[in-house]
A = this chain, B = another copy of it.
Amino acid sequence: MSSRGSNLNRPKAVTSVDVAAESGVSQATVTRAYSSPHLVSDKTQAKVFEAADRLGYVPNAIARSLKSQRTDIIGAVVPAQGEYWQGFLTATSQQLVAKGKQLLLFSFVSTDEVDEVLAAIRQYRLDGLILASANIEQPQILRTAQTGLPIVAFNQPAASGVVPSVSVDNKAGSQALAEHLVFQGARTVLFVGGMSHTSTDQLRYRGAAQALGGNGVACPYMEAGSYTYDAGFKAAGQIIEMQDRPDAVMVASDEIAFGVIDGLRLGGLDVPNDIMVTGFDGLPQASWAGYDLTTLVQSTPVLVEQTIRLLIESDSGPAERIAESPADLVVSGTLRLGRTTNNFERNDLKTG
């Protein structure tokens, strides 16, 4: 065995006691210099910081958390797959750091892993948890919520019965988009969903069906099977085979829509001249020239902001149960030109 200490070969940690000794004040004063500077004279604070600098002292967040019962860490449970989630993760991480909080990330592939993850989470006494997937089941959520851990569901409107939830206004967005399709002259529209049992799917379909029905346009539903490119690609194969091919396909998500477009084009159809396609989400790729997809752009930073607010406010007082944010309709190349209106303008999705 090595003669060294049992576990880590790190340099011995510098603690507030060391800084106290070095600067000739008490340990309590060192702590105060950091966490309650207003209780310490400027001179003392300077003395402490100098000593800390000399010694390389950094306050220990673990010890602070043990005492204060706050970790300043927010957890997020996010699906491993899906083009959508990157934007969520970076927005969340950024906004939390700006608030002096950190993000503990858990990703899962299959729903089975969620239980395991939720158990691991409980040990860490997080300040809050964001559940960002339609694939987490309500009993799981409920059980976790009962431990007293503040939870907010993200883009999972169905969870709002159990925990506060933040999501884009799926139905209103879908309605606006459907109305625009009618305006563009679509007389037959097919809705391609991801998984029919999710609330996201249902709301988006309902919005479409309602708006279309009001205009005397039928809206059959086709299930792609998952929210993936491949599912959309396969769905396109079925669309091509259809007897009465629709004028337009409303797809439940951008990622599925990319697959639909590629599948249709590979099948020899011209998008948008033979058939129009729309998406939902506003992924960065939607504005890529190869797709130039008409879609509903979610403002992820805004949604995340609301999520964090709900999470933090849930410490004090009754929170709203559900917050819905509008999606912006962005009309692009996947709609036929020549019938546009200036109610809708082409926005840039990327700032660069």
Q: Residues on A close to B: CB < 8 A?
A: 2, 7-11, 13, 56, 58-63, 65-66, 68-71, 73, 80-81, 83, 85-86, 89-90, 93-94, 97, 100, 102-109, 113, 116-117, 119-120, 122-125, 147-150, 226, 228-230, 233, 258-259, 261-263, 265-266, 284-285, 288-291, 314-317, 350, 352
User: In the complex, are the beta carbons of A80 and B70 less than 8 A apart?
Assistant: no
18 more CB-based (< 8 A) A-B contacts, given A58-B122, A66-B66, A80-B94: A8-B70, A9-B148, A13-B125, A56-B147, A59-B123, A60-B125, A62-B62, A62-B124, A80-B93, A83-B284, A90-B107, A93-B105, A93-B107, A94-B107, A102-B106, A102-B120, A104-B104, A259-B288
Residues in B whose Cβ lies below 8 Å from that of A73: 104
A-B residue pairs in contact (CB < 8 Å), sample of 28: A7-B68, A7-B70, A7-B315, A9-B315, A9-B316, A11-B148, A56-B147, A60-B66, A61-B125, A62-B66, A73-B104, A83-B284, A85-B86, A89-B107, A90-B107, A93-B106, A94-B107, A97-B113, A97-B116, A102-B104, A102-B120, A103-B104, A103-B105, A230-B352, A233-B289, A262-B290, A265-B290, A290-B290
For the complex of A and B, 10 pairs with smallest distance between CB atoms: A10-B148, A80-B90, A262-B289, A61-B123, A93-B107, A90-B107, A262-B290, A86-B86, A105-B105, A58-B122
Bound Cα distance A123, B13 (Å): 12
Q: How far is the CA of A258 from the CA of B291 in the complex (A)?
A: 11
Q: How far is the CA of A216 from the CA of B228 in the complex (A)?
A: 44
**Shortest Cβ distance from residue A120 to the other chain B in the assembled complex, whole angstroms:** 7
